[in-house]
Structure formats: C-alpha cells, structure tokens
C-alpha cells in the first residue's frame, strides 16, 4: 500500500453505509442547510443530527426516511409523536402513529419509547430515535435493550439538540446505538481517567499525577486527542446552533431575546428539617422537597399575580400537588399529568398550539421535550429542581426558531431556594460556552463532510540540524529515512513506541497512534522496510522491547501481551534474520511502584498468588540484514571489550544497568503529553554500540526521542543519524547531541594537551 493511502486509512472515522442521492430528490420546502444535512445523513446511513431546537430536525428525519424508501420506525417521546404526524403533512408525508407492532404500514411508522417492547426490529429497514438525548436518561438496562434491539438495523438516525462536548456519556451512548463503537472503546481511544488529577513540580516543570476516586471514575479528553476526536465526531454527527455555523444564511433563524426573571418569595415560617434554628443552606433532596411543599401557598399567590388574562402561558411544575394547586387557582387553566391517557395529552397540547387553551399546566418531563409551543411567549416555573437540561428543554419549547416575540421566563421560588436558581444559571453559562466550543471545534471537519471534501494529511514541517558527527531529521521516519542512502548505516539502535492512542501527538504519522496491533504493525512495517534498505549487508539492528500489560478495557482480558514476539514476526516478514536477544534485568519493586501493577505487590502474593506475575523484563532483539558483512566488527581489537566482559554479557541476561541511567527528560515533555517520556537506559545503548559497531561508523535511530542513542553513539566515537516526529523531543535531542559532541571535543582537547605536555 502507498504510505499516503495508509495514513488516510489510519484516521478514526465512521464508515459509510448509506445511499447517494441528488439534491432534486429532497423536498423543496427544506432550507438549504436542512437539505444538505439530509443528503449527508443519507450518505452516512447511520448518523446523529445535533441541531438546536427549531432548526428542523423533524423535517430532516422525515425526508431521510422517505428517500430511503424502506419501512421505518420513528421512536419519540409520548408528547412528540402526534406532533410529528402533523408536521409530516406539511411536506406531504404520511406517518402512521402506532402503539403496537400489530398494525404496521409500509413507509413511516412512529411510536413512543415506552411501547418499544411491542415491536420487532426485523420488521423495519430503518429506525430514527427522536429526542435521542433520552438515551442518557434511560436506565442502563433499557438503554442497552434499545441499542441491542436495533444492532442489526442497516439504517439508523439519532436526532437531538446539541450536546456538550464534555458529556462523553451522551456521545458514547449515541455512538454505541449507531454501531460506530462502544462507549468503552470511545473512552479508550480519546479519553483518560482523570480521577483526582493534580499537578506537582520537578525543577519548575509541571507534571500531572492521578489518584483514586472512590466515588466513581471521571474522564477527560486527552490533550493530543482533541483534533482527532472532533474529526471522528464530525464523521458521524452534525452539530448546529444556527445555520451560519456552517456558512449558511441565518434568515428566519434569528432568535428574539429571552428574558429570565427570577422572583424570590419571602417566607418566615419554614423550619429547617435538621432541627436547627435557621436555614443556612439547602441540604439535599429532602430539604428541597420540604421547602417546595411548605411554600406552595406563598408562591402560588405570587404566581397568580404574574399571569395576565390576555396571553397564553405555560406553567411548569415539579410536584403533583403544585400542578393541581396551580390549575385550580388560574381560571381556564388545563392540567396535563402523567396519569392522563396519551390521547388526552395530545388533544390538550394541540389545543394549546391552536390557541384554544390559554394556560397549560404540566411537568417538564411530560411536555418539556420536543414539542413546538412557539405560538406562545410567556412561561413560568413554579419552582425549580437542579436539572439544567430540564430547565433548558422547557425554555426551548417557546424560545425556538420561528418564535416572533421576545420570550418571558418567570421563575417563582422561595427566597430559601435562591441557590438552586444560581446553580442553574451557572450550569447554563457553562453549557453555552461548551456548545459554542463544540461547534467551533468541529466546524471545519463538518464543512468537509457536507461538501464531501477529503481533508489532507497535515504536513509535519520537516527540519534538519547537523553537527560535525551527527544529523537530526525532524519528521515522519517513514519519509525522512528515504533521504538516507542505501546500505549506508552500520547499526541501528532504538525503542519503538507501543500502540497507545494520542499519548504524545495527534498525528496519524505517529506510530503509537494505532487502534490495535494490526494497524500498528502495518505502520511499523514501513519503517522496518526502510531500516533494512539503509543497513549494510550482514549488519545488525537492535530493537529494545518489552512485554505489554493487557488491560480489560482495551484488550478484553487482564494479563500480558507478547510484544517482542510480534516484533520478531514483523522483522522476519520483511526479510530480516532474527539472531538472538538479551534480557535486561529489572527491579520488580520499582516497577510495581511505577506502573501500579497489583500483580507485583506483596498484598497480592498473600491474597492470591495466581494473579501475581514476574516483572516485565526489557528485551533487546537482534536482527541481521541479509548478505555478508564486508567490514568485521572488532570490539576487542579496539579495546572496548575483553573476555571477562564478553562472558558477562554473552549469557543473555544483562545485569548492572541502572534504570535511572538516562538523559533528563523534563525539557522534552510537552504540556499535552499524557505519559512521561521513558528514554532508553544509556547502559543498554552502550552495550549494543560496543558489540555491534566499530568506532567511526554510523549508528541510526528511526525513533530518536530526546536523542539517547545519538548521545551515546557520539560519546563512543561513532557518527549518528536519527529521526523524530515530535517537535519538543526533537529540539531537546538536538541540544543533547550538541552537548555530547562538545564533551567529546573537550575531552579530546584535554587528551592532546596532556600528550604535548
């Protein structure tokens, strides 16, 4: 495969499984952005549409289903289904409302989430989840049932308002339903466990350290994963808050102002639930419920004074008693409760939309999702809970595109509940910032998706620095190694990165950014091939490796994976000869502390030694390029090794190498790195260079890092050429190579001075 094509294949994005249609097949009533989003969703086949309230998700999902031409099931909240039937009539689409699987029709059927158990997924070729954010609210068992039920359905569409980019649970639920990946796979690719993460300093350099959080796990987006994550998200989801987010005209989609007016009702006769003399702070759900009940009469008096007799109003309540009291106190008010039949609920909602009901009284969980109530512009919250999403959804029933009047939102609370209002406003401000951030982050990728543009692989800005005895190449090893002549390198020594997504960079050129071993070794083979080309016949490469711990979340089991064995197979497939290996002794206690492996702990030995294992020992794998070596390597002749040393090294277990014998890495660690750099021990490098190269020969490293191999090669009188992708490592490597060369020159100068004296 051509390398450029391989890099494109590494990009993590959703596969196409849809159909290609022309613009003329989309109903002309749809706005241009709605048409293009519909065409994009049809191409994808399985997609999510995160559009702000009023941007026409209903028309888009209806057109998507109509053009596909297969029997489709739309699943919607109870209050939304009949409204969708009415909306469909505007573009000439017949939608059949059903609450059982016994009266299905060809074309588009719609039902409610709570009725899904009466349907069979194999009766449909396509499914739409309307108000799909409900996936987050469903119990784990119900959510899994919905996901598993339609796992084999070819065409799947999710429609909801724009989610917050840090809500990985909601995004993960959508990705899992659509068959893009599981939430666990998404976390493994792009997120890192951030439990009790804090910062500490070493030599004025900041490091992050994580601790345990017994209350539960928290995850954050990896710093180097931000661009790949948003690129991946844009491959299966479109996010819009206004049409202009993606370059369309906002005509008809400019919202009028919304005025939020909190009213805090004084109360004097409410006793704290904990028996204290005064209320100082709300203490949990019990306090909140107690205060709402005991202040109902006072708040009701204030509410009735607000509601005028001319305009239409919605009053949002949280308790059954509140709803009943409000309906009784306001003339002409209609109450809709959870106990009412679906038919009654739909009738009253339609009557309010048509202006036949002046005041609608209900709960947010009943009428707050998906319904279009922009016929009115005044609402009141008769109390609040701490759910920002519920508050937001209720407001958006009126404050949505198509609203012609400024929207008034009155919030009637007791003065004891002020902190609830403040909490909601704080969450609202944060959500606005995060949604804006999400749209901005995915804008370019979504424009490419809508226009079917292929985003190019970014240039890695190659650079070259030289000293008297070294050359450092910044860039992709697969490409920079091509600049080295055939058969010009005497020895290569290096440690390849392991497959671990977005640990240090976001580039697809980064070998570590591989989704699994298959992709990793496919990428690695390009490098192994180039190293073979530049190596002289009969000369060696030394590859520093180790077994890799297997993790349940990534590998499906807890244990160890044989990474050295896989490297050997890769080299042999590329024509190298495997000629041996050396094991580098490790301190198991130090390793237990560093990697926090329970398998190495004393407590595990006492608890159940079946789950204990030896420390992971470094292995230096030796491979020889085909052909005869023209220049013998003679370390004894050059005085670099004697018989006793050879006996010590030749038994295959290298002892006496200090794990801390490395170059300093603090300067090279970038602020976005998720792991510390682990440079190869200088003692290990020294042995490889001494055994397998002569003074003055060229040593190469395709993964130079901070320059450890080059530093040691120069110190031992060799020349060096190395490649490094990451800019901060490259710059530190140049400094280390320069320092090594200066040290050698200074040492030579002193030696010459002593001889002349």
Is 274 a residue whose pLDDT tops 60? no
pLDDT in tens, 372-394: 999 999 999 999 988 888 899 89
Backbone angles phi, psi at 97, to 5 degrees: -85, 125
Number of Cβ atoms within 10 Å of the Cβ of 267? 17
**pLDDT for position 688:** 97
What is the rounded distance in angstroms from the CA atom of residue 494 to the CA atom of residue 262?
65
pLDDT in tens, 470-490: 999 999 999 999 999 999 999
What is the rounded distance in angstroms from the CA atom of residue 107 to the CA atom of residue 70?
6
Is 135 a residue whose pLDDT tops 80? no
**pLDDT for position 520:** 94
Q: Are 73 and 111 in contact (CB under 8 A)?
A: yes
- Residues 6 or more apart in contact with residue 113 via CB below 8 angstroms: 75, 76, 77, 78, 134, 138, 146
pTM for this one?
Answer: 0.75
Is 673 a residue whose pLDDT tops 70? no
Q: Are 553 and 184 in contact (CB under 8 A)?
A: yes
Which of 23-32, 139-148, 314-323, 557-566 shows the lowest mean pLDDT across its residues?
139-148
Tally: H helices and E strands in the chain: 26, 28
Is 92 a residue whose pLDDT tops 50? yes
**pLDDT for position 602:** 75
Which of 216-225, 351-360, 405-414, 525-534 shows the lowest mean pLDDT across its residues?
216-225
Coil, strand or helix at 518: helix
Residue bearing the bigger pLDDT, 274 or 231: 231
What is the rounded distance in angstroms from the CA atom of residue 327 to the CA atom of residue 582?
83
Average pLDDT over every residue of 290-315:
92
pLDDT in tens, 350-360: 999 999 999 99
Q: Are 377 and 298 in contact (CB under 8 A)?
A: no
Q: The tokens 């987006």 sit on which residue? A: 221
**pLDDT for position 144:** 83
User: Which DSSP string corresponds to 448-510?
Assistant: HHHTT--PPPPP---EEEE-SSEEEEES-HHHHGGGSPTT-EEEEEE-PPPS-TTSS---TT-
What is the rounded distance in angstroms from the CA atom of residue 673 to the CA atom of residue 237?
28
What is the rounded distance in angstroms from the CA atom of residue 30 to the CA atom of residue 51?
15
What is the rounded distance in angstroms from the CA atom of residue 415 to the CA atom of residue 291?
10
**pLDDT for position 290:** 82
pLDDT in tens, 142-159: 778 889 999 999 999 999
pLDDT in tens, 54-65: 899 999 999 999
Indicate the pLDDT class of residue 585, thresholds 50, 70 and 90. Answer: confident
- Residues 6 or more apart in contact with residue 396 via CB below 8 angstroms: 53, 54, 161
**pLDDT for position 455:** 67
Which percentage of the chain shows pLDDT scores above 70?
87
Beta-bridge partner residues of 430: none
pLDDT in tens, 627-664: 999 999 999 999 999 999 999 999 899 998 988 889 97
Is 669 a residue whose pLDDT tops 70? no
Residue bearing the bigger pLDDT, 281 or 135: 135
What is the rounded distance in angstroms from the CA atom of residue 436 to the CA atom of residue 241?
8
Which percentage of the chain shows pLDDT scores above 90?
56
Q: How far is CA 456 from the centre of its chain?
A: 21
Q: Are 688 and 635 in contact (CB under 8 A)?
A: no
Domains detected in the chain: 3-246 (3.40.50.10810), 258-432 (3.40.50.300), 470-580+622-756 (3.40.50.150)
In whole numbers, what is the pLDDT of the chain averaged over residues?
86
Average pLDDT over every residue of 726-742:
95
Indicate the pLDDT class of residue 133, thresholds 50, 70 and 90. Answer: confident
What is the rounded distance in angstroms from the CA atom of residue 434 to the CA atom of residue 437?
5
pLDDT in tens, 503-546: 778 888 999 888 889 999 999 999 999 999 999 999 999 999 99
What is the rounded distance in angstroms from the CA atom of residue 323 to the CA atom of residue 359?
12
Per-residue exposure over 562-595, b if at least 16 CB sit within 10 Å of its own CB, e if not:
ebbebbbebbeebebeeeebbebebebeebbeee
**pLDDT for position 665:** 60
Beta-bridge partner residues of 110: 74, 97
Indicate the pLDDT class of residue 137, thresholds 50, 70 and 90. Answer: low
Is 717 a residue whose pLDDT tops 80? yes
**pLDDT for position 224:** 83
What is the rounded distance in angstroms from the CA atom of residue 619 to the CA atom of residue 623?
13
**pLDDT for position 157:** 97
Indicate the pLDDT class of residue 275, thresholds 50, 70 and 90. Answer: low
- Residues 6 or more apart in contact with residue 256 via CB below 8 angstroms: 399, 403, 404, 405, 406, 407
Beta-bridge partner residues of 362: 316
**pLDDT for position 557:** 75
Average pLDDT over every residue of 620-633:
97
Which helix H or strand E contains 237, and what residues bound it? strand 237-240
Indicate the pLDDT class of residue 197, thresholds 50, 70 and 90. Answer: very low
pLDDT in tens, 44-87: 999 999 998 889 999 999 999 999 999 999 999 877 888 899 99
**pLDDT for position 751:** 61
Closest of 365, 260, 386 to residue 317, by C-alpha: 365
Number of Cβ atoms within 10 Å of the Cβ of 722? 29
Is 96 a residue whose pLDDT tops 90? yes
Axis crossing angle, helix 342-353 with helix 81-89, rounded to the nearest 10: 50
Indicate the pLDDT class of residue 208, thresholds 50, 70 and 90. Answer: very low
């Amino acid at each position: 495969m051509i390398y450029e094509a391989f890099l494109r294949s590494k990009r993590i994005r959703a596969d196409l499984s849809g159909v290609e249609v022309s613009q003329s097949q989309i109903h002309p009533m749809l706005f241009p952005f709605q048409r293009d989003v519909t065409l994009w969703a049809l191409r994808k086949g399985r997609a999510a549409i995160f559009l702000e309230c009023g941007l026409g998700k209903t028309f888009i999902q209806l057109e998507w289903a109509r053009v596909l031409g297969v029997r489709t099931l739309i699943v919607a909240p109870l209050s939304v289904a009949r409204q969708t039937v009415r909306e469909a009539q505007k573009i000439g689409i017949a939608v059949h409302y059903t609450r059982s699987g016994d009266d299905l029709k060809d074309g588009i059927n719609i039902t409610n989430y709570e009725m899904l158990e009466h349907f069979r997924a194999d009766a449909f070729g396509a499914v739409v989840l309307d108000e799909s954010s409900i996936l987050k609210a469903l119990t784990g068992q119900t959510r899994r049932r919905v996901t598993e039920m339609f796992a084999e359905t070819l065409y799947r569409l999710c429609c909801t308002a724009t989610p917050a980019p840090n809500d990985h649970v909601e995004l993960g639920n959508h990705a899992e339903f659509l068959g893009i990946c599981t939430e666990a796979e998404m976390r493994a690719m792009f997120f890192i466990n951030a439990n009790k993460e804090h910062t500490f300093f070493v030599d004025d350099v900041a490091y992050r350290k994580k601790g345990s959080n017994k209350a539960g796990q928290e995850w954050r987006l990896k710093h180097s994963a931000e661009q790949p994550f948003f690129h991946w998200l844009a491959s299966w989801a479109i996010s819009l808050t206004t049409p202009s987010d993606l370059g369309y005209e906002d005509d008809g989609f400019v919202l009028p102002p919304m005025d939020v007016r909190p009213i805090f009702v004084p109360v004097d006769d409410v006793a704290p639930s904990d028996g204290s003399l005064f209320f100082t702070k709300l203490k949990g759900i019990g306090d909140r419920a107690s205060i709402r009940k005991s202040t109902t009469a006072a708040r009701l008096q204030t509410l009735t004074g607000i509601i005028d007799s001319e305009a239409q109003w919605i009053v949002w309540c949280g308790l059954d008693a509140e709803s009943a009291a409000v309906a009784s106190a306001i003339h002409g008010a209609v109450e809709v409760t959870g106990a009412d039949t679906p038919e009654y609920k739909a009738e009253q909602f339609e009557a309010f939309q048509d202006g036949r009901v002046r005041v609608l009284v209900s709960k947010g969980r009943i009428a707050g999702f998906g319904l279009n109530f922009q016929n009115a512009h005044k609402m009141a919250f008769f109390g609040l809970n701490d759910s920002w999403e519920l508050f937001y959804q209720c407001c958006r029933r009126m404050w949505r595109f198509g609203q012609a009047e400024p929207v008034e939102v009155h919030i009637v609370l007791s003065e004891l509940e002020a902190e609830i209002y403040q909490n909601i406003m704080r969450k609202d401000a944060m959500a606005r910032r995060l949604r804006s951030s999400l749209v901005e982050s995915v804008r370019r990728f979504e424009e490419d998706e809508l226009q079917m543009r292929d985003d190019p692989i970014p240039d890695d800005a190659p650079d070259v620095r030289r000293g008297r005895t070294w050359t450092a190449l910044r860039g992709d090893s697969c490409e920079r190694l091509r600049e080295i002549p055939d058969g010009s390198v005497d020895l290569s020594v290096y440690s390849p990165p392991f497959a671990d997504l977005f640990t240090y960079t976001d580039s697809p050129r980064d070998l570590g950014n591989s989704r699994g071993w298959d992709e990793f070794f496919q990428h690695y083979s390009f490098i192994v091939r180039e190293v073979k080309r530049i190596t002289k016949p009969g000369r060696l490469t030394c590859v520093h490796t180790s077994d890799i711990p297997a993790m349940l979340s990534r590998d499906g089991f807890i244990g160890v994976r044989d990474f050295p064995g896989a490297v050997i197979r890769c080299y042999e497939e590329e024509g190298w000869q495997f000629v041996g290996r050396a094991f580098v002794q490790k301190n198991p206690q130090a390793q237990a502390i560093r990697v926090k492996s329970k398998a190495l702990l004393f407590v595990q030995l006492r608890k159940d030694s079946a789950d204990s294992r030896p420390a992971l020992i470094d292995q230096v794998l030796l491979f020889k390029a085909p052909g005869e070596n023209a220049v013998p390597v003679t370390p004894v002749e050059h005085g670099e090794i004697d018989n006793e040393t050879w006996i010590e090294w030749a038994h295959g277990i290298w002892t006496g190498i200090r794990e801390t014998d490395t170059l300093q890495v603090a300067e090279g660690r970038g602020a976005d790195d998720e792991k510390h750099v682990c440079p190869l021990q200088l003692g290990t490098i020294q042995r490889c260079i001494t055994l397998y190269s002569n003074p003055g020969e060229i040593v190469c490293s395709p993964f130079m890092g901070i320059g450890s191999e080059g530093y040691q090669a120069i110190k031992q009188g060799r020349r060096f050429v190395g490649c490094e992708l990451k800019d901060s490592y490259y710059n530190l490597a140049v400094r280390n190579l320069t320092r090594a060369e200066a040290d050698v020159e200074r040492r030579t100068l002193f030696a010459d001075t002593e001889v002349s004296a």
